[in-house]
Structure 1
Amino acid sequence: MCDIHHFISGQSFTGNSGRYSDVFDPNTGEVQARVQLASVDEVDRAIQAAQNAFESWSSTNPQRRARVMFEFKRLVEANIDELAALLSKEHGKVIADSKGDIQRGLEVIEFACGIPHAQKGEYTFGAGPGIDVYSMRQPLGVVTGITPFNFPAMIPMWMFGVAIACGNTFILKPSERDPSVPVRLAELMIEAGAPEGVLNVIHGDKVAVDAILEHPLVHAVSFVGSSDIAHYVYQKGAQNHKRVQAMGGAKNHGIVLPDADMDQVIKDLTGAAFGSAGERCMALPVVVPVGERTADELRERLVSEIPNLRVGVSTDSDAHYGPVVTQAHKERVVGWINKGVEEGAELVVDGREFSLQGHEKGFFIGPSLFDHVKPEMSAYQEEIFGPVLQIVRAASFEEALALPSNHQYGNGVAIFTQNGRAARDFAARVNVGMVGINVPIPVPVAYHTFGGWKRSAFGDINQHGMEGVRFWTKTKTVTARFPDSELEHTDSSFVIPTMK
């Protein structure tokens, strides 16, 4: 068993807090490593390293910063097999899904390679007599990302890729459940040519999070996790005068209209609901068939399809999904299934007793399917974050539209239909931040932006795309005049300047 250390100033750093957290192999249930948990002093050490690197890195021209991002992308691609194996061993998702995690992060790195264009300001020649006005986007300074266990490659790259390309220096506080891939990414960033201190990794719990939120040298915090903690991060960060974006939980709905292509719907639902054991903020855990006929057919087709799903170890190339991340998380998911039964929902397929032969101590859960779930049930209202699909029947389009619109979460939603007018109307009216039309997991491409509404996101600016550039930079506007000679003077003015 090994210890996983912090990464500060371009090298591994052994902390002295004396506090550790176990890192499990979800396939076997065994402890495979310990990760150090940072003290306040160790967080400060990382922030000071980033501050020391900021002046030089921020003054590096955008094209040279882009070249570092190009090389980082090449190195990640060259090492993707190693990274995916490491990710699967700590998280539990199957290798193909781990590679998708990495690739989706690389798509934002590709966007960051275009930072010379994305960071350009605006210019107005002749805004007034001999006056030009222009703006520039400048980096903030030391910025931070606090990332969850479910995407240990993608979400860190979503954050630090754009932030570093913009000229900031970065502190990453990844989940202590699967910390190795973030450290390896930081090593590759240094290998790609980023100076020491540009990307640092600190492991920790609430002690480290609070130290980040309170530190006067930290100018921005990006967070992804549960809604309660996202709200806490947003409030505490704002109280300490930081720019904050905090992405929270989700309860994404899939609306199925009677004219939908049911063959494709079933394929989309099984992948979106059960892929990665449901541990995705953009998973599709609720399906809303419109009309009893649609609901009955959907249920029948799902009951036939779910037994074909293969649950296996993360290295099983034929497995559709692997274990959940920890025993505690498995117990949480099972607890929500129990709650759904207690509240009167019909458990059509029960995955609670699933056991994988030879890996009985692994954190495996079989797929579960509920029908006749009601909006007032807490198992519907809260995020389960496991391989559980709930059917909530709706009698009409309007009733189906109201379900995601009125839910406390507003991350993503999908509608399945061949009716363009209905799809257009739904997309315009639904009270949710990201919409898929016959797309079950509507994560936008990297040059657009990612972000939910309501309790799924706190803050005004979304992740990646041009929204990401705006979040990680501040705008400076310059109004300039250069008289032709010393004789060209104007009289004193005691009123506000105008263009009249």
Structure 2
Amino acid sequence: MTTATTAPPTTVPHVIGGVRTTGDGRTSPVFNPATGRQTGAVALASAELVHEAARVAREAQRGWRDTGLARRQQIMFRLREIISARAEDLARLITAEHGKTVADALGEVARGLENVEFCTGLMHHLKGDHSEQVASGLDVHQLRQPVGVVACITPFNFPAMVPLWMVTTAIAAGNAVILKPSERDPSAAVWLADAFREAGVPDGVLNVVHGDKEAVDAILDDPIIRAVSFVGSTPVARHVYTRAAAAGKRVQALGGAKNHMIVMPDADLEAAADAAVSAAYGSAGERCMAVSVVVAVGAVGDALVERIARRLPGLVVGDGADPTTEMGPLITREALERVTGFVAGAEGEGADLVVDGRRPAGDEGFFIGPSLVDRVTPGMRVYDEEIFGPVLSVVRVRDYDEAVALINASRYANGTAVFTRDGKTARQFGYDIEVGMVGVNVPIPVPVGAYSFGGWKESLFGDTHMYGPEAFSFYTRRKVITTRWPEASESQISLGFPTH
């Protein structure tokens, strides 16, 4: 009699100095969310491995900084072509570990490529300034120089896009990078590291270190690492910002969101309902820019809720690898249990559960359908907390002023939108609202690559947004050089404060 054996799951490695390693053997499981089954494992870094990666990055950055801007620019062009040509391979890898549909994953890759394309203009973005003859014989010029070694800590919900937002700009600016992706879907980061290397980025300039809190805290404490970019939940963003800033690092830490979409009485309700469904339930709501609250102004509430509810039974929920699927599973069983808890508790808080997306126990995979909760008010858990799942709340208000006050009272301020046909209302909304990214008849107002991404309040810790122009500011330091070439006979001692 023979006993069947199961091969151990493949372990996703770290990449340090171009070498793949699994470190000391500590790992975490990786699942296919559509089946609920473990498909592999990911190595988890010790603090010492993080420190070793920082040392390797420091050595590599010295040479990379000396690389000419034209050479770096050529590498960015090659990187764009490599990723674009193999976008579907990367998208399917994302789907297998995250669960989102292949179409959604392709969209993620496309938005990441926007920043690669922006970085191909690094020759322009890294230009300095020069002022001639500020005083007799005195010139001043300002340089942009790389920070050194930077760390990019990225979230599970966009395992390719957010690394491309951070890493590409940091490297284009002359830095070396330690990328710490989410341990839940780690393979995309290793895929990207291979693409950067193939494009011509030297070994050690981009290092991938997987890990949990031990690795993150080592990054925040390591003196070699001079700057940290982070995207994740607000509690962790606050921790990253506080600890890294205390260690003297430059920090941008993007946190959570509770994005509102106002629907005015004059709005096209069919278009608004389509937008609400698309923005709330795409990628199973696992987007920091997802609409999680619709604010129905005046008498539109009943008609709007009816239109949204009517659309939900037609959404196809299933394996993201199936081309007919419109919404895939959540990332983990813990995420499924958390989101299910919000749906279960909504009625007990006094809200109306119009559509219940919960599925019977025993279903394979981490699936939950779209849920719609009406007559939600501040103070309810379903309103106050970031759910990060396919749950849309509807809040009813009397007028525009109450809608704006509701949004401005939120501790989150990532994105918001207004649906209206009135230009004056739209303009006033942009003026009144205290949120970092605003859409007018655009439910998910993620800026195009030439602008920068980021919210206000507890959605961002630090004062610099991601990608685009602000990213080059974050990943560089400015140095001002004042120059004079006097004749020897002009030199003299002066103890006074320089006035020019």
Fold conserved between structures, TM > 0.5: yes
- Residues in 2 aligned to 1:495 and 1:295: alpha-carbon distance in whole angstroms: 71
- Residues in 2 aligned to 1:195 and 1:122: alpha-carbon distance in whole angstroms: 29
- Residues in 2 aligned to 1:447 and 1:7: alpha-carbon distance in whole angstroms: 31
Spell out, residue by residue over 1:159-186, the C-alpha distance to the aligned partner (whole angstroms, 9 max, x if none).
0010000000000000000000011100
Spell out, residue by residue over 1:34-89, the C-alpha distance to the aligned partner (whole angstroms, 9 max, x if none).
10100111111211111110111011111211111111111111111111110000
- Residues in 2 aligned to 1:428 and 1:311: alpha-carbon distance in whole angstroms: 39
Name the structure 1 match of 2:355.
Answer: 349
Name the structure 1 match of 2:365.
Answer: 362
- Say which of 403, 407, 413 aligns to 1:404: 407
- Residues in 2 aligned to 1:121 and 1:340: alpha-carbon distance in whole angstroms: 55
Distance 1:279 1:354, change over 3 A: farther
Percent identity between the two aligned chains: 50
Question: Is the contact between residue 66 and residue 114 of structure 1 (CA under 8 Å) also seen in structure 2?
Answer: yes
Classify the secondary structure of the residue corresponding to 1:393.
strand
Question: Is the contact between residue 382 and residue 393 of structure 2 (CA under 8 Å) also seen in structure 1?
Answer: no
TM-score, structure 2 as length reference: 0.97
Equivalent residue letter for 2:436: G
Name the structure 1 match of 2:20.
Answer: 12
Distance 1:319 1:354, change over 3 A: farther
- Say which of 251, 261, 269 aligns to 2:268: 261
Classify the secondary structure of the residue corresponding to 1:340.
helix
- Say which of 268, 271, 282 aligns to 2:278: 271
- Say which of 450, 471, 488 aligns to 1:486: 488
Classify the secondary structure of the residue corresponding to 1:295.
helix
Classify the secondary structure of the residue corresponding to 1:138.
strand
Please list, as runs of the form range in 1=range in 2, the aligned pairs for 1:396-435 lying within 5 A after superposition: 396-435=399-438
- Say which of 58, 76, 81 aligns to 1:51: 58
Name the structure 1 match of 2:11.
Answer: 3
Question: Is the contact between residue 359 and residue 367 of structure 2 (CA under 8 Å) also seen in structure 1?
Answer: no
Query: Is 2:40 the counterpart of 1:37?
Result: no
Question: How far does residue 315 in structure 1 lie from its aligned partner after superposition?
Answer: 1.2
Spell out, residue by residue over 1:423-453, the C-alpha distance to the aligned partner (whole angstroms, 9 max, x if none).
1111111111110111100000111011111
- Say which of 316, 337, 341 aligns to 1:331: 337
Classify the secondary structure of the residue corresponding to 2:291.
coil
Name the structure 2 match of 1:476.
Answer: 479
Spell out, residue by residue over 1:94-113, the C-alpha distance to the aligned partner (whole angstroms, 9 max, x if none).
00000111111110111111
Query: Is 2:307 the counterpart of 1:301?
Result: yes
Classify the secondary structure of the residue corresponding to 2:353.
strand
> What stretches of structure 2 of length at least 5 have no aligned partner?
1-8
> What stretches of structure 1 of length at least 5 have no aligned partner?
none
Question: How far does residue 14 in structure 1 lie from its aligned partner after superposition?
Answer: 2.4
TM-score, structure 1 as length reference: 0.97
- Residues in 2 aligned to 1:342 and 1:490: alpha-carbon distance in whole angstroms: 82
Moved more, 363-372 or 258-267: 258-267
Backbone CA RMSD of aligned residues: 1.1
Question: How far does residue 490 in structure 1 lie from its aligned partner after superposition?
Answer: 4.3
- Say which of 242, 246, 250 aligns to 2:249: 242
Name the structure 1 match of 2:318.
Answer: 312
Classify the secondary structure of the residue corresponding to 1:285.
strand
Distance 1:354 1:282, change over 3 A: farther
Moved more, 59-68 or 245-254: 59-68
Number of residue pairs matched?
A: 492
Question: Is the contact between residue 28 and residue 360 of structure 1 (CA under 8 Å) also seen in structure 2?
Answer: no
Query: Is 2:384 the counterpart of 1:377?
Result: no
Question: Is the contact between residue 354 and residue 366 of structure 1 (CA under 8 Å) also seen in structure 2?
Answer: no
- Residues in 1 aligned to 2:103 and 2:442: alpha-carbon distance in whole angstroms: 20
Equivalent residue letter for 2:310: S
Spell out, residue by residue over 1:114-140, the C-alpha distance to the aligned partner (whole angstroms, 9 max, x if none).
111001111111111111111000001
- Residues in 1 aligned to 2:51 and 2:202: alpha-carbon distance in whole angstroms: 19
Question: Is the contact between residue 260 and residue 417 of structure 1 (CA under 8 Å) also seen in structure 2?
Answer: yes
Classify the secondary structure of the residue corresponding to 1:392.
strand
